Amino acid sequence: MSTPERRAELTQRLAAVRARIDAAMEAAGRTDPVTLVAVTKFFPASDVDLLAELGVTDIGENRDQEASAKVAELAHRDRVTVHFIGQLQSNKAGSVARYADVVHSLDRAKIARALDRAAQREGRVLDVLVQVGLDAAGGRGGVAPEAVRDLADVVGGLEHVRLRGLMAVAPLGEPARPAFARLRGLAETVRADHPAATWLSAGMSGDLEDAVAEGATHLRVGSAILGSRESHR
Ligand SMILES: *Cc1c(COP(=O)(O)O)cnc(C)c1O
């Protein structure tokens, strides 16, 4: 596909997603800001640059190797905030701390400490979210709801990561809305101890309306903007 064709396609899909978000915000009676994080995993740096030209300010990536190479390639690196949203191993903390501005997927104290040390080495302070596992089986990653406050306290005590809130993926086999409502309740508990933890990262292409209804401040939307990832795997 040529660049003008791709630009036209992204323009159209982005407008449709923004319209969905606006409608959901209106239905929820919300006028506070919401951040659209375009999840560009599997798609090339050229798509990120096109999105930046279309006014996208935040992009999300979930694999360290792919993300570090892609971010290095960007023409418009200065126009986007880079969110790392994938499962994080402590041996990747050093790499992620180099290119990510926000990490959504913190789910262990060991990784929080590794990321803190890595950010210190880079002379940076990273915004981080604690990922909550909303499904009973814990299959989609994240810390168990009953352990969230302890992990938030660990993160809150570190100097080079800044606790900004909670993140979750809707569980499989259960409606998203009540799960996001549980996440919202947890976020309120955490905020009582950590007033700066005001972000709530929830909602993807299929369930962003439910997330907006439950107070999400950050929506992580991939396929509804970029198209199917199947052909890019
Ligand atoms: C891929 C991914 C998304 C985006 O999913 P879509 O359904 O394509 O919108 C959101 N969050 C996480 C953690 C992801 O890995």
Q: Say which range, 19-23, 89-93, 201-205, has the weakest mean pLDDT.
A: 89-93
What are the tens digits of pLDDT across the range 163-172? 999 999 999 9
Q: Which of 35, 36, 39 to mutate to test the pocket of ligand 1 (most atoms within 8 A of CB)?
A: 39
| Local confidence band at 232 (pLDDT 50, 70, 90 cut-offs) | low
What are the tens digits of pLDDT across the range 45-55? 999 999 999 99
Q: What is the pLDDT of residue 137?
A: 72
Nearest CA to ligand 1 atom 4: 222
Is the domain defined by 3-226 classed in CATH 3.30.1360.30? no
Q: Is the CB of 203 under 6 A from ligand 1?
A: no
Ligand 1 atom showing the smallest separation from residue 39 Cα: 4
Share of the chain above pLDDT 90, in %: 92
pLDDT, the chain, mean:
96
Residue type, 141: G
What are the tens digits of pLDDT across the range 62-120? 999 999 999 999 999 999 999 999 999 989 999 999 999 999 999 999 999 999 999 99
Q: Which of 30, 74, 32 is nearest to 56 (CA)?
A: 74
Q: What is the pLDDT of residue 230?
A: 79
pLDDT, mean of residues 8-32: 98
Which helix (DSSP H) or strand (DSSP E) does residue 84 occupy?
Answer: strand 81-84
Q: Is the CB of 218 under 6 A from ligand 1?
A: no
What are the tens digits of pLDDT across the range 127-164? 999 999 998 776 668 999 999 999 999 999 999 999 99
DSSP 127-194: EEEEEB--STT-TT-SB-GGGHHHHHHHHHT-SSEEEEEEE--PPTTS-HHHHHHHHHHHHHHHHHH-
Residues near 109 by beta carbon (within 8 Å), at least 6 away in sequence: 151, 154
